[in-house]
Structures are given as structure tokens and as C-alpha cells.
Amino acid sequence: MSSLVEQSKRSAAFAAVDKHVLPSVRVLGIGSGSTVVYAVDRLLELKNQNKLNPDLVCVATSFQSKQLITDAGLRSADLDDLSILDPEQGGFKSIDVTIDGADELNAIKGGGAAHLREKLVANASNKFVLIADSRKDSQLLGEKWDKGIPVEVSPLAWRTISRQLERMCSIQSGAVSLFELQAPVAQLRQAVRKAGPVVTDNGNFILDVHVGKIYDPPAVEQLFKMIPGVIEVGVFSGMADEAWFGNEDGTIACRIPKSEMKKLD
């Protein structure tokens, strides 16, 4: 991977952290993926400059992000533990902001098989911010990400779930097409440097479901989730408040809802 791509990821991560992780932030969600590494690098710099809340609590979305938090010397807590922290204040009611990566904006997630925990943390956050490089920017999901929608499923019935997904039709009840292909193609994700399938942090399998371009992300997400045994779908429909991505020319763009765009120097 070129140094320009890595620099663009770093720029997007630093910009998002500088805007959103202020001393007033007490609970921060930390996502997963290669771009999030740069976000934690910036958090460590701010920590060393005494610019973070001294009582900051970080909530990890994966084994990877928990390692990053620990290595940076930041305080870590599980999502369900927030309600019992700081008893004088009655516990934390929510996460102030979560910063996470994406496989395609705005947004497919799950390339790292962590989208169940990522969606749980995002849903518990007052603000959800995505970071990526410009290769991930897309106006229509599926334009650039060609590895399929990550779907976390129960290992007990992954073959059955796979067949049920592949029997789904793009056109539902005579309406317009939900996705490009006539029917999905589901593949069990195989591990690298390990024999057998990828096993998530939650002990489940991942099906990568190929549908081509996605015309109605919320409908596709709900359609897949109707199948018993589907635990979570890597489509994050309308969840992100902002999406930051770095360009190879050094500029940073920030997309906010309704496709409004700001370009920053």
C-alpha cells in the first residue's frame, strides 16, 4: 500500500479526533480497522499533551481495538459496564462519540469481522463518526466494495442460512430492485494462516453476501436480518453523523447527512 494512501488515512483520522475528542468527552467508542490505528495514535499524542479528559473511558469494538486502547495506556471498559461506572453520577447513559473505520462510505462494515460489536457501540453513541481514505468514498454502496455484505451468522446453521439468503430476490412485492444482482451469492469467509472459516470475536461465522450495487440499503439490511440465525448485517444504514476521508493530494473531505460535502485544507 502506498505511503500516500496511509498518509490520507492518517489525515482523516487526526482531523476527526481533533474535532470530536475534546476534554469534555468522557466516554469514547473506538472502532476497528487500519484507519483506527491512526486515530489511537492521535489520542496518545493528546493524552501526552494533557488534552484529554483525565477520566476518559474507551469502549472497544473488537479484540484489535482493545489491544490498541491498552497499548496506548487508555482506560478501557466494556459497553455493558458503563451503567455501573461513576456511581456518583448514576453511571454513564451513553457513549459521547464513536470513531470507526469503514470498508465503504457510507457505510459497509465488517471486512474485519467486527461489525456486530461495532454496530452495538455505534447505536449506543450520541455521535458516530467514520474515517477512511478516498478509495472508500462512494455515492452508492457496492460501487467500490466488491467483497460482499458481511453477515455474521450462527455456526449451527450457516449452510441453511446461506441457501436462504441466495433464494432472496432483488425485487420484493413488485417494487423496484433492492440490489443489482438478481439474487445474492453467499460465501463462507475463510481464514488466512488458519485452516477453516473466520471465527468472530463472538464465536460466529461470516458469510460474505454478494449483491452488486445496493439501491436500498435499509431494506436490504432488514431483509437479511429477518432470517433466523442471522446475527448482524454489515450495512450501517443512516447511522453515521459524519464521514471523513483523506485524499492523496493532502486534502480532507467531510461528508455529513443528505450528502452535503465540505472540503478542508
Q: Which residues on adjacent β-strands are paired with residue 256?
A: 260
**Active-site residue list:** 118
Q: Output the CA–CA distances (angstroms, integers) from residue 135 to 53, 105, 132, 161, 231, in the order listed.
A: 33, 9, 8, 31, 29
Quickly tell me which residue has 467531510 as its cell. Answer: 254
Q: What are phi and psi of 254, to 5 degrees?
A: -125, 115
Cα end-to-end span (Å), the chain: 23
SS3 52: coil
238 Cβ contact list (under 8 Å, min separation 6): 218, 257
Yes or no: say if 99 and 42 are a contact pair by the CB < 8 Å rule.
Answer: no
| CB half-sphere exposure, 121, CA atoms < 13 A | 30
